[in-house]
Amino acid sequence: MVLVARRNDKLQELACEIKEGGKITSGDSSGKQICQSLGIVIGDITEPSTRSAIIETAREQFGGIDLVVNNAGTSAHGRFASASEPRLRRIMEVNFFAVAELTRAAIPILAEGHEPIVVNIGSILGRRGVPYNSEYCASKFALVGWSESIRPELARLGIDLLLVNPGTTDTEFFDHLIEKQGETPWPRQKGIPPERVARAIVRAIERGQREIVPHRKGQLLLWANRLFPRLVDRLMQRWG
Ligand SMILES: NC(=O)c1ccc[n+]([C@@H]2O[C@H](COP(=O)([O-])OP(=O)(O)OC[C@H]3O[C@@H](n4cnc5c(N)ncnc54)[C@H](OP(=O)(O)O)[C@@H]3O)[C@@H](O)[C@H]2O)c1
Residue 237: which pLDDT band, with cuts at 50, 70 and 90? very high
Distance between CA atoms of 78 and 162, rounded to whole angstroms? 30
DSSP type of residue 185: S
118: left (phi over 0), alpha (psi -120 to 50) or beta: beta
Distance between CA atoms of 215 and 197, rounded to whole angstroms? 8
- β-bridge partners, 39: 2
**Rounded to the nearest whole angstrom, what is the distance from the C-alpha of residue 228 to the centroid of ligand 1?**
31
Distance between CA atoms of 13 and 55, rounded to whole angstroms? 22
- Looking at residue 236, its pLDDT comes to 93
* Rg, Å, the chain Cα set: 19
- Looking at residue 188, its pLDDT comes to 79
Burial of 120 (0-12, 13-18, 19+ CB in 10 A): buried
Residue pair 113/64 in contact by the 8 Å Cβ criterion? yes
Distance between CA atoms of 234 and 198, rounded to whole angstroms? 33
Q: What is the pLDDT of residues 147-189, one digit of tens each?
A: 999 999 999 999 999 999 999 999 999 999 999 887 777 877 8
Residue 51: which pLDDT band, with cuts at 50, 70 and 90? very high
Q: Average the pLDDT over each of 14-28, 59-73, 141-155 and give the range with the smallest value.
A: 14-28
Distance between CA atoms of 205 and 182, rounded to whole angstroms? 38
What structural domains and CATH numbers belong to the chain? 63-239 (3.40.50.720)
Residue 126: which pLDDT band, with cuts at 50, 70 and 90? very high
- Looking at residue 232, its pLDDT comes to 96
Q: What is the pLDDT of residues 11-25, one digit of tens each?
A: 999 998 888 775 443
- Residue 46's φ and ψ, nearest 5 degrees, are -80, -10
Atom of ligand 1 minimally distant from the CA of 166: 6
Give the torsion sign (CA, 225, 227, 230, 234): negative
Ligand 1 interacting residues, C-beta cut-off 6 A:
4-7, 10, 44-46, 71-74, 94, 121, 123, 166, 168-169, 171-173, 176, 191
Q: What is the pLDDT of residues 73-111, one digit of tens each?
A: 999 999 999 999 999 999 999 999 999 999 999 999 999
Distance between CA atoms of 134 and 95, rounded to whole angstroms? 13
